[in-house]
Amino acid sequence: MILALLGSLFTWGMTALGAALVFLIKGSSQKFLDSMLAFAGGVMIAASYWSLLAPAIERGAEGPLPSWFPAVVGFLLGGFLLLFIDRVIPFVDLDKYMYDIKNKRAKSRTALLMFSMTLHNIPEGLAVGVAFGAVASDGSGAALGGAIALAIGIGIQNFPEGAAVSMPLYREGMKKKKSFMFGQFSGMVEPISAVVGAAAVIIIEPVLPYALSFAAGAMIFVVAKEIIPGSHEKGNVNIASMSLMFGFALMMTLDVALG
């Protein structure tokens, strides 16, 4: 459990480091801000498959059901949850936390973005916890090395994901410091979920494929409903489209290269 906590603190730190990129922004032209929103969408799409759905299918193959079943069920449930939350958000008072964002639609978009990215980090933290928890029963150096490699891989992948939260928040009108705080906060759930995963490895492992694909469904819903349309609102369609592809390519490269 201590190793799981240390490993997930690293992944959280990498999320915070990525979110800190918001402090390096010099200009704030609409084209640049729209491209950053689209870049976040590309990161989320790639992470949905390589960080979430692919591992869910792989882990699902170890169970009694077809390997695709947990991925499909979790994916659709994640989308339906975000659809429900999208319906509920207009009735929630977001002004207390997002008073510096004037547009109501922008507040809804940022709320969905933060929720989906935070949700995405929960199963990643559980995966790290399960990997370190398995070391307790296995005890081999290979198991420990695999758990450490997983934590490092997820941590490096979290770097662009932190930026994918803080940059769009800054675009919508948040101050840099507040955008950073919300961006790093999305990764704060990883240490908590990692400890839970390590402590309850026998219980958590069977449901992990559902949790991973659930987060993927939530992220794809946000990208399809808010991120892509939002990045096109001001007419910067071409640069937004290319930025989305660049974000996708970067995240795909990190996910595949780091396993």
If you write DSSP's letter for every residue of 108-167 in order, what string do you get?
Answer: HHHHHHHHHHHHHHHHHHHHHHHHHHHHHHH--HHHHHHHHHHHHHHHHHHHHHHHHHHH
Count the Cβ atoms, other than its own, within 10 Å of residue 203: 10
Whole-angstrom distance, CA of residue 84 vs CA of residue 10: 33
Whether 109 is covered by a domain: the verdict is yes
| DSSP 8-state secondary structure symbol assigned to residue 90 | G
| Contact yes or no for 190/46 (Cβ under 8 A) | no
> Residues 189, 122: contact at Cβ < 8 Å?
yes
Q: Kindly tell me the burial class for residue 103, based on how many C-beta atoms sit within 10 Å of its own C-beta (0-12, 13-18, 19 or more).
A: exposed
- Could you tell me if 88 and 106 are in contact, meaning their C-beta atoms sit under 8 angstroms apart? no
Residue 69 in any domain: the answer is yes
> How many other CB atoms sit within 10 Å of the CB of residue 156?
17
Distance, in Å, from the CA atom of 129 to the CA atom of 199, rounded to the nearest integer, reads 8
CB 218 within 8 A of CB 78: yes
Residue 195 belongs to a domain: yes
CA atoms within 13 A on the CB side of 149: 10
148 lies in a domain?
yes
Please report the pLDDT score of residue 27 as a whole number.
65
Residue type, 177: K
Whether residue 167 lies inside any domain: the answer is yes
Host H or E run for residue 240 = helix 237-258
Burial class of residue 171, CB neighbours in 10 A (0-12, 13-18, 19+):
buried
**Total domains present in the chain:** 1
Residue 144: which domain range?
2-19+55-229
pLDDT at 28: 67
Which residues of the chain fall short of a pLDDT of 70?
Answer: 27-28, 137-142, 259
The pLDDT score that the predictor gives to residue 137 is 66
Residue 202: Cβ-neighbour burial (10 angstroms; 0-12, 13-18, 19+): exposed
In a domain, 248, yes or no: no
Q: Is residue 166 part of a domain?
A: yes
| Residue closest to 113 by CA, chosen among 161, 176, 53 | 161
pTM of the model: 0.82
> Residue 187 domain-assigned?
yes
Question: Smallest Cα–Cα separation from 213: which of 80, 43, 56, 47?
Answer: 56
